[in-house]
Structure formats: C-alpha cells, structure tokens
Amino acid sequence: MLSENEILLKENERIDDLERNGYHIIQDTRRFRFGMDAVLLSGFAKVKDDAGVLDLGTGTGIIPILLAAKTKAAHLTGLEIQEDSADMARRSVRLNGLEDKIAIVTGDIKEAGSLFDAASFDVITCNPPYMTSKHGLINPEDAKAIARHEILCTLEDVISQTARLLKPGGNFYLVHRPFRLAEIMVLLHAYKLEPKRMQLVYPFADKEPNMVLIEANRGGRPHMTVEKPLIVYKEPGVYMPEIYDIYGY
C-alpha cells in the first residue's frame, strides 16, 4: 500500500478517508463525487466468497473499493468510459494496495459484451445515471452531466449488457430512482433477469422514497421479496442506526 505522499494528485483532487479497512479514495472537487447511493448499493449487494464482480460505470471506483473492504470477492472489475475518472480509480486502487484485487477498465458500457467474455461474472453492480436526456440536461460534455443523465448509455444498455455478462444464476444489483421503477421491472423481465429483492430508501420516515435498491437473478424463478424500508435520517444530520452499520462507523 502506498502512502498518500507517494500518490500524485492532480489539480483540484483530494484524498478522502472511507473509514473502512483504512481505505481511501481520490476525488476531484469539481467533478461528480460518490454519494450515499453508492454506499447503500455496496451494503445491499450480496457477494459470495471467491466471486467475480463487475461494476458498470464505476466512476472513481468507489463500489469496487467498498466491496473489497466488505466482502471476500476473488476479483473486482470496474468499467468506466471517462478516462479522467478511470485514472483516479486506478490511482485509488494503487493507494490502497489493491492492484491484485481490483482492475479498472476504460470502456463503454454499450460495448461491455465485447470487452469481457459472455457469462463471466458472478455479480454485476451498477449505480447508473438516473435521469434521461429530457431531464434538465444543460451541458452534455460536462462530467457531472454524464454521471447524472443518460448521455453515454441508457438503462436498457446497462440491463442488456448485464444479461450478457452474468453467469446463469448470477446476481445483478442496481440502485436507481423510484420514479423509473416500472421501466426497470419491464426491462429486467425482457432480458430474463428476474427481480428477487427490492428495498425502498427514504430520506426521513415522513418523506417519499428517493432511492430503490434492486437485486435480480439471471434465469431465476418469479418470486420477489420487498424488504422493510430503509430510513436514512432519524433527524437532520443524524443517521438511523442501520445507516451507521452500512457505513461501518
């Protein structure tokens, strides 16, 4: 593991403590940084020992790094189309001494089926752009816009490539927005990814849900469990105990 002084930081970059296994991550203060959705997805995903994991649209590598801390996966791969983000992810992997555990690949989700062998992953995770191109898109070249809007890939791209790359019986874990839940379910069914588990995330107990976590199984039989709601805040600035557990505090 390298020290922070041995990692070259670029302009506007900083190193943030993940408070998990002593791991850190490099982030650019001007670009899209990981949020609670990535952390909740890493807690929702069930990864068996020695599993091979692919994270689609990995950004700066937050989900593979968190899963390396939380699970005994054999190997984790992050696919990211933006080279600046992929470069930060690779440097974070080196910073944490995870080169033998995590590989970061620069590439397009739409071409994932040609970048990796078919049916080669036990688990696939994705924290995709939530908004379609119709939702307030300002600058399609901006890194934040690419992370938030379906500019470079669509939800169907994510699900179709997942269906191609998952092993039979493999699991797909997705975090998204509830307002697209009907579309998500239709696409999962179309690509023979059977929804098995769902959990709605509420910012406060008296507010509407703002996230949904979904597990789908390639070729699974119809039967879905809806887990109890996950409430984030007990009061402003104070997490519920379940959130502290997920973060590992």
The DSSP result for 56-100, as a single string, is: ET-TTTHHHHHHHHH---SEEEEEES-HHHHHHHHHHHHHTT-TT
* Nearest one of 65, 21, 73 to 42, comparing CA atoms: 65
Distances (CA, A) of 193 to 154, 160, 164, 174, 205: 17, 9, 10, 12, 31
pLDDT at 104: 98
Q: Domain residue spans in the chain?
A: 4-247
pLDDT at 249: 60
Q: Which two tokens stand for residue 202?
A: 């509420």
Which residue is listed with tokens 């555990």? 101
* Nearest one of 126, 103, 123 to 115, comparing CA atoms: 103
Q: What is the residue-level pLDDT of the chain in tens, covering all 249 positions?
A: 666 667 789 999 999 999 899 999 999 988 778 899 999 999 999 999 999 999 999 999 999 999 999 999 999 999 999 999 999 999 999 999 999 999 999 999 999 999 999 999 999 999 997 655 554 544 544 544 444 444 468 999 999 999 999 999 999 999 999 999 999 999 999 999 999 999 999 999 999 999 999 999 999 999 999 999 999 999 999 999 999 888 876
Which residue is listed with tokens 């703002």? 210
Structural fold of domain 4-247: Rossmann fold (3.40.50)
Distances (CA, A) of 64 to 37, 145, 154, 179, 219: 14, 22, 22, 27, 25
pLDDT at 136: 52
- The whole-model pTM stands at 0.90
